């Protein structure tokens, strides 16, 4: 029998996009310290349902820290108090008996709340659709070694490619800026040979779409890097700044 | 949606960075020039005269500086407004994981403090009559004008002004402690190790700039109460 704790949750409840929303206080008793944060919410939801109350809506899918679906602000921290940990991988042993836990959705104008803790992150999809891809002929997968990739570039590209698109960077940024997300995607592709053909167009198109969605500007606070469950470095933002500058200058020069 | 159409967010930040760098250049050059005060009236007045003698070149530099300041202020106010809008609903609990700092959160305030101080500063020194009554230091130089040196000396005998000046240069130091690092990042010049070193250097430069500028009023006061002006 593992230890259990009692918590007081203050959870954001919002019926739909147009509802103003409010905090609801919910007692979460006898929570196993071995449970994950989402399992804790599952348990609370089961009890709410049995009481004939509306369960708390939250996003999740893989529950192993790789899909990027989960996420909420827990006591003012994106994905909760542990660094480099998604909400689904956060365990209740990091909380103490009697704690009050304030749970809020990601806040950004570009991420409207759909219900409770669920936000609409399709702004990220539209940024990807604007240029976060390489155009290739489909068909058989090519032989991996037919395109040589220098080791240092491959490593950096892998670091950037770890981005799971969860939106914690936006949620944690004082300006609700999406620069770390866009930087990770632009960086990842611009470092690889396959990404070269569309390199300039990509940087400009993705940044333009990011602006259109209403994300803030980057003021170099670096809260994003600290909040990122994958620890993606703000050095990628410097690379994006460089890529975008170069692409804009080349656009002026070559048209 | 919320973006104000003045170039992409990145371009705006790069305009802030370049105009800011021009201002940083001025701040450091101005400091170097001001150090002449420690060498005595001939040096400081000589330096001032030297600048005046540049004539049109001085005016070109002044216009360039004014342009940089106008661009910097316009774009920083613009991005600050956009950034305030983009959150939408504020968090009930606002946390930080240590990325941001006091200096970063108060850039607009430290900037505006420096700006308001600038008007006082210009009327105190730049537009002062270099040979008027304010340049005569009581009991020094046989009652003759001491030029800019005399004006500076008299100005800093007023404790309120000294406090305002020291506060203003601390705001400037705070601004610089983030600004230089921020520039390298905005212009895409940094990778991880560079960023670490520049962040450190930025704080050192900010602190040194504040201390060095503050040393001037402190020097005047201390000297007034000890050896006196000595001319
Ligand atoms: C001598 C005076 C000044 C110097 C040397 C200076 C320098 C700088 C530099 C180098 C940056 C960094 C740019 C970047 O990260 O891209 C910066 C940022 C900033 N400056 Fe100034 N500045 C001065 C005056 C002002 C004034 C008068 C204001 C007031 C409107 C101001 C407001 C700001 C703001 C708000 C930022 C941050 C912008 C952001 O990252 O969102 N500055 N400054
Ligand atoms: S549910 Fe997939 S990352 Fe958390």
- The ipTM assigned to this model is 0.91
A137/A246 same-domain check: yes
What's the token pair of residue A180?
């770390």
Confidence of residue A140 (pLDDT cuts 50, 70, 90): confident
Q: What's the rounded mean pLDDT across residues A208-224? A: 97
Residues A233, A156 within the same domain: yes
| Dist CA A171 CA A168 (whole Å) | 5
Q: Report pLDDT for A145.
A: 85
Banded pLDDT at A188 (limits 50, 70, 90): very high
Cα–Cα dist A158/A152, whole Å: 10
- The conformation of residue A184, written as its DSSP 8-state character, comes to H
Q: What is the CATH number of the domain that holds A86?
A: 3.10.20.30
pTM: predicted TM-score of the whole model, two decimal places: 0.93
Residue A4 DSSP symbol? E
Query: Within this chain, do residues A134 and A209 fall inside the same structural domain, yes or no?
Result: yes
- pLDDT value of position B5: 59
In the predicted model, is pLDDT for residue A254 greater than 90? no
Secondary structure, 3-state, chain B: CCCCCCCCHHHHHHHHHHHHHHHHHHHHHHHHHHHHHHHCHHHHHHHHHHHHHCCHHHHHHHHHHHHHHHHHHHHHHHHHHHHHHCCCCCCCCCCCCCCCCHHHHCHHHHHHHHHHHHHHHHHHHHCCCCCCHHHECCCCHHHCECHHHHHHHHHCCCHHHHHHHHHHHHHHHHHHHHHHHHHHHHCCCCCHHHHHHHHHHHHHHHHHHHHHHHHHHHHHHHHHHCCCCCC
Is A147 found in the same domain as A105? Answer: no
Question: Under an 8 A CB cutoff, do A216 and B107 touch?
Answer: no
Q: In this structure, are A141 and A164 located in the same domain?
A: yes
User: For residue B118, which ligand has an atom nearest its CA?
Assistant: 1
3-state secondary structure of A251: helix
In this structure, are A126 and A208 located in the same domain? yes
Q: Are residues A73 and A138 in the same domain?
A: no
Average pLDDT over residues B79-85: 95
Q: Name the residue among A107, A219, A227 with its Cβ closest to that of B89.
A: A107
CATH number, span B6-224: 1.20.1300
Q: Answer yes or no: do B93 and A76 touch at CB < 8 A.
A: yes
Q: Is the pLDDT of residue B196 over 90?
A: yes
Q: Is A107 in Cβ contact with B91 (below 8 Å)?
A: yes
The answer to whether residue A255 scores a pLDDT higher than 90 is no
Angle, in degrees to the nearest 10, between helices A235-254 and A199-212: 110
B6-41 tens-digit pLDDT: 789 999 999 999 999 999 999 999 999 999 999 999
Residue B171 has pLDDT above 60, yes or no: yes
The CA distance from B130 to the nearest CA of chain A, in Å, is: 42
Chain B: nearest CA to A14, how far in angstroms? 13
Which residue in A160, A10, A163, A159 sits closest to A72, CA to CA?
A: A10
Judgement on whether residues A48 and A132 belong to the same structural domain of the protein: no
pLDDT higher than 70, residue A223? yes
Query: For residues B184 and B190, is the Cβ–Cβ distance under 8 A?
Result: yes
Nearest atom within ligand 2 for CA of residue A87: 4
Q: How far apart are CA B155 and CA B134, in angstroms?
A: 8
Same domain (yes/no): A54, A85: yes
Closest CA relative to residue B11, chosen from A212, A185, A236, A248:
A248
Say whether both A100 and A133 belong to one domain: no
Of B189, B99, B123, B228, nearest to A226 by C-alpha is: B99
Domain boundary among the residues A93, A114, A135 is at A114
Residue A219 at interface with chain B, using a CB cutoff of 8 Å: yes
A238: domain CATH number is 1.10.1060.10
B96 vs A172: CA distance, rounded Å:
8
Residue A142 DSSP code: P
The rounded distance, in Å, linking the Cα atoms of A245 and B158 is 49
Q: Give residue B2's pLDDT.
A: 46
DSSP A187-215: HHHHTSGGGSTTHHHHHHHHHHHHHHTT-
Chain A positions touching B98 (Cβ under 8 A) are 226
For residues A77 and A134, membership in a common domain is answered with no
User: Which structural domain, as residue segments, surrounds residue A36?
Assistant: 4-114
- Average of per-residue pLDDT across B53-64: 94
Domain ranges of chain B: 6-224
A109 and A139 housed in the same domain: no
Please provide the average confidence, as pLDDT, over all residues in chain A.
Answer: 95
Cα–Cα distance for residue pair A207/A174, rounded to 1 Å: 19
Compute CA distances B122 → B21, B54, B128, whole Å: 21, 19, 8
Q: How many domains, chain A?
A: 2
């Amino acid at each position: 029998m593992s230890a259990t704790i009692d918590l007081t949750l203050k959870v954001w409840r919002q019926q739909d996009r147009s509802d103003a929303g409010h905090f609801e206080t919910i007692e979460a008793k006898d929570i196993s310290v071995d449970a994950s944060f989402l399992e804790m919410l599952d348990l609370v939801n089961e009890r709410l349902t049995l009481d004939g109350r509306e369960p708390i809506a939250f996003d999740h899918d893989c529950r192993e820290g790789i899909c990027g679906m989960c996420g909420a602000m827990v006591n003012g921290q994106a994905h909760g108090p542990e660094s480099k940990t998604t909400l689904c991988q956060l365990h209740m042993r990091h909380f103490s008996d009697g704690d009050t836990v304030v749970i809020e959705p990601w806040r950004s104008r570009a991420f409207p709340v759909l219900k409770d803790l669920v936000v609409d992150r399709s702004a990220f999809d539209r940024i990807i659709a604007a240029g976060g891809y390489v155009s290739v002929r489909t068909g058989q997968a090519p032989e991996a070694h037919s395109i040589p990739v220098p080791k240092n570039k491959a490593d950096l590209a892998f670091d950037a490619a770890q981005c799971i698109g969860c939106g914690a960077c936006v949620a944690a940024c004082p300006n609700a800026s999406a620069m770390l997300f866009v930087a990770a995607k632009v960086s990842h592709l611009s470092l690889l040979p396959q990404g070269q053909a569309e390199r300039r167009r990509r940087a400009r198109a993705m940044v333009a779409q990011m602006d259109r969605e209403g994300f803030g500007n980057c003021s170099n606070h670096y809260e994003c890097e600290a909040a990122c469950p994958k620890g993606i470095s703000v050095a990628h933002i410097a690379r994006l700044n460089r890529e975008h500058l170069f692409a804009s200058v080349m656009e002026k020069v070559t048209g | 949606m919320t973006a104000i159409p003045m170039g992409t967010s990145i371009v705006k930040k790069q305009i802030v960075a370049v105009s800011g760098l021009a201002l940083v250049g001025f701040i450091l050059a101005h400091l170097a020039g001001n150090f002449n005060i420690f060498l005595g009236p001939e040096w400081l007045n000589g330096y001032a005269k030297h600048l005046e003698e540049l004539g049109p070149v001085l005016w070109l530099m002044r216009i360039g500086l004014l342009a940089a300041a106008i661009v910097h202020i316009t774009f920083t106010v613009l991005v600050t407004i956009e950034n305030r809008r983009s959150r939408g609903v504020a968090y009930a609990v606002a946390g930080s994981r240590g990325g941001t700092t006091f200096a970063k959160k108060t850039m607009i305030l430290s900037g505006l403090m420096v700006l308001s101080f600038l008007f006082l500063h210009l009327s105190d020194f730049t537009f002062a009559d270099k040979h008027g009554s304010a340049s005569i230091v009581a009991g020094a130089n046989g009652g003759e004008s001491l030029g800019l040196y005399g004006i500076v000396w008299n100005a800093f005998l007023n404790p309120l002004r000294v406090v305002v000046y020291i506060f203003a240069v601390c705001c400037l130091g705070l601004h610089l402690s983030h600004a230089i690092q921020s520039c390298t990042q905005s212009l895409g010049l940094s990778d991880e190790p560079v960023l670490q070193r520049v962040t450190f250097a930025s704080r050192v430069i900010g602190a040194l700039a504040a201390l060095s500028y503050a040393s001037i009023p402190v020097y005047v006061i201390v000297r007034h109460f000890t050896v006196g002006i000595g001319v």
